[in-house]
Copies of this chain bind each other. A is one copy, B any other.
Amino acid sequence: MAGSPSKPRALFDDDRTGIIYRTAARIIYEKGFDATSMSEIAEALDLTKPGLYYYVKGKKELLYSIMGFAMDLLDSDVVEPSRQIADPEERLRVIIRLHARLLTHEAGALGILIDEDGGLSDEQREDIVNRKRDYFEFLRRTLEELRESGRLRQVDSTVAAFSLLGMVMWIARWYDSKGRLASETVVQDVTEIALAGMLMPTSAQPSMSLAQAL
Contact = CB atoms under 8 A, between A and B. Distances in A.
Interface of A: 30-35, 115, 118-119, 153-156, 158-160, 162-163, 165-171, 173-175, 180-181, 185-186, 189-190, 192-194, 196-198, 201-203, 209-210, 212-214
Given A153-B193, A159-B186, A209-B212, 15 more contacts: A31-B118, A153-B192, A154-B192, A156-B189, A158-B180, A159-B181, A159-B185, A160-B189, A163-B190, A165-B170, A166-B167, A166-B168, A196-B201, A201-B201, A213-B213
A192 B169 CA distance: 20
A173 B32 contact: no
Given A158-B181, A170-B170, A201 B202 contact: yes
A204 to B, nearest CB: 9
Nearest to A188: B155
A110 to B, nearest CB: 16
27 contacts: A30-B118, A32-B32, A32-B33, A32-B119, A34-B35, A153-B192, A153-B196, A155-B189, A159-B185, A159-B186, A159-B190, A160-B189, A160-B193, A162-B170, A162-B171, A162-B174, A162-B175, A163-B189, A163-B190, A166-B169, A166-B171, A193-B197, A194-B197, A196-B196, A197-B197, A203-B209, A213-B213
